[in-house]
Amino acid sequence: MCDTIVATPEVTQNRHMLFGKNSDRESDECQNLVYNPAANYVAGDTVKCTYLTIPQSSNTFSSVLSQPFWMFGAEMGINEHGVMIGNEAVMTRIKPESTGLTGIDLLRLALERSKTAREAKDTIIQLLETHGQGGNCGYRHKLTYMNGFILADATEAFVLETVAKEWAWKQIHGVWSISNRISLEKDYEARSENLIEWAIKKGWCKSEADFNFSKCFSDKIITWGARGNGRQCDNRNRLIERQGKLTLQDFMGILRQHATSSSHWHPTQGLRMTVCAHATNNLTRGTQTVSSMVAETFPGHSAIFTTGASNPCISPYFPITISPKGLPSSYHSGGEEYSDKSFWWKAERLHRNVMIKFDHLHDSLSEEVKNLEQSLYGDRISAESPQLEYTE
């Protein structure tokens, strides 16, 4: 389960676009930071996605991705033009095909092929209508789902939600959040031609006037089990509370929250998934936040921060750039097995030690993380700041 948030320039402190996402996946599923350079191709070239091979674009833009180690695509990322995308699994009455482009594939392809968020939205729609979506997106445990997206650049942001080859979208003005459920109801600006007709044929609504995207297509039981509505509302309320003053620090804080008023929260407390998710039981908390990313952009400039590791409540956000040297030379990707070289796996070992002694270690480690972030970038966390570099 995941959470994606966005705030458009008119409601942020610096009048810049803000974006953030927590990627929640299986607790042993390493997620790497990957820089992909721009490239040119010739007619007839193809690209092998997770399950499908499709025609390649004549050129692709450089990007930084947060990528499950075994997949082609990414959970979130940003390209050289400041286009930012995060995807969400949505559980619908329509079951996905056994193969197709995954939502994670669609995200990467859109970043590689789009100069703006609007182009990225249209790219996903075109790929969706041509190739369809489907295939297993689970690592050790099979999981299939449809997809929703938040797409943003320096000036525009959109929410796009899909079922099979059908879709609906609207432009975002202000704040928005998505959390594993169809968020659009009657408020979409555009839709696929057959979306409402399909719902009428299924008996889920009587007419266009009666049509509600979320109510018609959501699998109510699985959507309820994912507890997406609670997280979506919590995130949106926190964004609304800070409208006009929103900063990247606010986005980091939202993605670090455990959505509880208790001052003594523990990962085993309750059954509800939290925004910063800890895998503590296989029934309702089988996944955890395996990486987190926030970004701020205005025309020509971007500031990108990521944990590159599980659980932002105990992991620092560090700056990266979209360049061959955007990741530190000491950064090493990981795979299926634990590796002492892998940044993600070393951080995961720390996370699990904290989980064992959560009451004794969590608060003190969180304080150390705050101090480390202060030493890294202090109050200079903005797209207008001078270039931030690593200290390895």
DSSP code per residue over 29-55 = --EEEEEE--EE--TT-EEE-SS-EEE
Q: Which of 172, 169, 188 is nearest to 123 (CA)?
A: 169
The structure tokens listed for 186 are: 């009657």
What H or E segment, with its residue span, contains residue 173? none
The SS3 call for residue 218 is strand
Per the structure, the count of domains in the chain is: 1
Q: What is the pLDDT of residues 149-205, one digit of tens each?
A: 999 999 999 999 999 999 999 999 999 999 989 999 999 999 999 999 999 999 999
pLDDT value of position 52: 98
Domain that holds residue 189: 3-377
pLDDT value of position 350: 92
Cβ atoms of 276 and 366 closer than 8 Å: no
Residue 199 domain-assigned? yes
What H or E segment, with its residue span, contains residue 303? strand 301-306
Q: Which of 142, 131, 81, 140 is nearest to 106 (CA)?
A: 131
Q: Kindly list the catalytic residues.
A: 2
Question: Residue 343: is it exposed, middle or buried by C-beta count within 10 angstroms (0-12/13-18/19+)?
Answer: buried
Q: What is the pTM of this model?
A: 0.93
Residue 391 domain-assigned? no
| Through-space distance between the first and last CA atoms of the chain, rounded to whole angstroms | 32
Rounded to a whole number of angstroms, the CA Rg of the chain reads 20
Residue 383 domain-assigned? no
Residue 146 domain-assigned? yes
Is the dihedral angle over the CA atoms 362, 367, 368, 370 positive or is it negative? Answer: positive
pLDDT value of position 379: 63
Mean pLDDT per 10-residue run, the chain (392 residues)?
93 97 93 97 97 98 97 98 96 93 98 99 98 95 94 98 98 96 96 98 96 94 72 91 95 86 69 78 75 95 93 92 85 95 95 87 89 79 51 38
Cβ atoms of 252 and 312 closer than 8 Å: yes
Q: Which CATH number fits the domain that encloses residue 85?
A: 3.60.60.10
Q: Which of 238, 231, 254, 263 is nearest to 363 (CA)?
A: 263
pLDDT value of position 73: 98
pLDDT value of position 20: 98
Residue 386 domain-assigned? no
pLDDT value of position 262: 57
Residue 382 domain-assigned? no
